[in-house]
Amino acid sequence: MSFAEAIAAAVRLLSAWDPQVVSAAAVSLRVSLLATLLATLLGVPVGFWVAARDFHGRRVVALALKTLTAFPTVVVGLLTYTLLSRRGPFGALGLLYTQTAMVIGETILVAPLMAALTMAIVGGADPRIEETALTLGASRLGAALTVLAEMRRGIFAAVVTGFGRLVSELGVALMVGGNILESTRTMTTAIALETSKGEFALGFALGLILLALALVVNVGVAALTPR
């Protein structure tokens, strides 16, 4: 099959709402969005805490977070696998090869990134924001939320960056998801599988969706953040 033929076949699959394509896209989106949400809820407070509060060992934590940002996805996959596999500490839960397992692994993957990005954003924030909030009667928590709200542009960009990393991620999805059709098969695991089978059309179709998704997300970011 030539390149042009593969692209043409991909477009046919997309326009016909091919069930395999739709299912893989839906699984990808659901897992990535949920993991992004969890990683945001975990990473943003930690990042804020490291950037804005003085405590013993703060620099070590900051360094650890930055290092974890470069965590290879297969290593996170391996880690999550050993935690969830039958003989692992959480094996009894029977989560391996489920979407839940993928969400857990991907949250572990991207939470340090969210924390590190938040750390950089809050570290670069005008220190007068928190102080102004305090002098206007906000609690410490209220002042912290005000800093995040003032830096919403950066935080939002961090969330989108996290989502982008997850939706295009292969290692964790493959290792703890297992690439089960219509259950844990995502766009990236499907592309990997179909390519190995020599079925380029489905791979290209999913690749086009991923590209379109990247475009939509970036247009969305631009539209939502004035100035």
Partner 1 sequence: MAAPAYRLRDVRVDFGGQRVLDIEALDVLPGRVTALVGPNGAGKTTLLRVLALLVPPIAGSVEFNAQPLPARPRDLGRLRQQVTLVAQAPLLFRRSVRANIGYGLRARGRPADGRIDAALAQVGLPGFADRPAWKLSGGESQRVALARALAIDPLVYLFDEPTANVDREHVGIVEEVITKLAAAGKAVVLTTHDLDQAYRLGDSVLSLIGGRITAAPLVNVLRGATSRIDDESYFESDGLRIEIADGSLPRVIAIDPQHIIVSREPLQSSARNRFAGTIVKVEQDGAGIVVTVDCGRPLVARITRHSYEELQLNIGTPVWMTFKSSAVHVLSE
Task: Compute how many residues bind partner 1; rule: CB under 8 A.
Answer: 17
Q: Which two tokens stand for residue 133?
A: 């909030």
Tell me if 131 contacts partner 1 by CB under 8 A. Answer: yes
What's the Cα-to-Cα distance from 212 to each of 33, 100, 144, 159, 218, rounded to whole Å? 16, 26, 35, 18, 10
Can you state the percent helix, strand and coil of the chain, rounding each to 5?
80, 0, 20
CB of 193 to partner 1, least distance (A): 47
Q: Is 136 in the site for partner 1 (CB under 8 A)?
A: yes
Contact in structure between 23 and 182 (CB atoms under 8 Å): yes
* Residue 31 binding partner 1, by CB under 8 A: no
Between CA 91 and CA 135 the distance in angstroms is: 51
- Give the count of alpha carbons within 13 A of 126, CB side only: 9
Least Å distance between CB 51 and partner 1?
Answer: 18
- In the complex, what is the shortest distance from the CB of residue 150 to partner 1, in angstroms, rounded to a whole number? 6
Between 72 and 142, name the residue whose CB sits nearer to partner 1.
Answer: 142
φ/ψ of residue 215, rounded to 5: -65, -50
Q: Quickly count: other Cβ atoms within 10 Å of residue 31's Cβ.
A: 25
Work out whether 140 is an interface residue with partner 1 (CB under 8 A): yes
Q: Select from 39-47, 101-109, 134-142, 196-204 the region that touches partner 1 (CB under 8 A).
A: 134-142
Q: Does 20 bind partner 1 (CB under 8 A)?
A: no
What's the min distance (Å) between Cβ of 128 and partner 1? Answer: 4
| Binding residue for partner 1, selected from 22, 134, 170, 214, defined by CB under 8 A | 134
Binder among 20, 23, 146, 195 for partner 1 (CB under 8 A): 146
For residues 57 and 65, is the Cβ–Cβ distance under 8 A?
no
Q: Which residues bind partner 1 (CB under 8 A)?
A: 126, 128-129, 131-140, 142, 146, 149-150
